[in-house]
Amino acid sequence: MTARAPRVGVVTFPGSLDDRDAVRAVRAMGGEAVPLWHGERDLGGADAVILPGGFSYGDYLRTGAIARFAPVMEELRAFADAGRPVVGICNGFQILCEASLLPGALIRNAGRRFVCRWVDVRVETSLSPLTAGLVAGEVLRVPVKHGEGQFVARGDELDRMEGDGLVVFRYCDPDGALGAEHNPNGSAAAIAGVRNEAGNVVGLMPHPEHAIDPDLGPTGGQPMFAALLQSALEPVASGIR
């Protein structure tokens, strides 16, 4: 008897544009993708949920500020509180921060310009749905494309995040070294992704769903999606808390 494929829900908001790419990435890595609509409260029996990139509600007010009130977010919050894996990519990361499911906030890039390029990110912890099975210090190459990706937080909150190991990824060079020239948006402490205290909710600005197919370029997204599918089928009690 073969184990069933992990079911990963991908939420579409008005203005989402990377939802289809996330669905494709899940399927390419052996998972079952479940398209979800922002106006519904049913997560379709998903084992994990992705909030994809894009410009939900046109990024009016602030990025993610309107999407946080979508009906699906009520169910998503309960899903996250139950310890199930939730991933926010780019705009999805912004939504999770607006919904207070992740610490900090994302603001305009330090250079005040949209950035679209490949970057390297260093894994800081294995305790997240995207890094389970990875080792701190590993470097993955993935693309970014955003205008509001600068991660910020109060000084005391940054200290707490560092002390509690909540930083998941940092922008770096191919060898893992940090430097302003490798930070595409001016994020505090070169932060590219963070997790919640329980370890089951993670957000990142880079796009792993665009780094899956070797025919299209680097494949730094493959180990992230492999980790997500692994985490999706783990029982809550023996997860990554």
Structural domains of the chain, with CATH: 7-238 (3.40.50.880)
To the query of whether residue 38 is one of the catalytic residues in this protein, the response is no
Residue 239 scores a pLDDT above 80? no
Phi first, then psi: what are they for 146, rounded to 5°? -160, 160
Residue 9 scores a pLDDT above 60? yes
Q: Which of 229, 220, 222 is nearest to 192 (CA)?
A: 220
Confidence band (pLDDT; 50, 70, 90) for 234? confident
Confidence band (pLDDT; 50, 70, 90) for 240? very low
To the query of whether residue 90 is one of the catalytic residues in this protein, the response is yes
Which residue in this structure is represented by tokens 């790419």?
21
The answer to whether the CB of 96 falls within 8 A of the CB of 201 is yes
Residue 20 scores a pLDDT above 50? yes
Length of the chain, in residues: 241
Helices (H), 99-187: 155-163
pTM of this prediction?
Answer: 0.94
Confidence band (pLDDT; 50, 70, 90) for 61? confident
Q: What is the pLDDT of residue 2?
A: 56
d(CA 34, CA 81): 20
Q: Which of 148, 207, 210, 234 is catalytic?
A: 207
Average pLDDT over residues 13-40: 97
Q: Which of 98, 124, 148, 209 is catalytic?
A: 209
d(CA 209, CA 8): 13
Q: Which of 38, 90, 97, 210 is catalytic?
A: 90
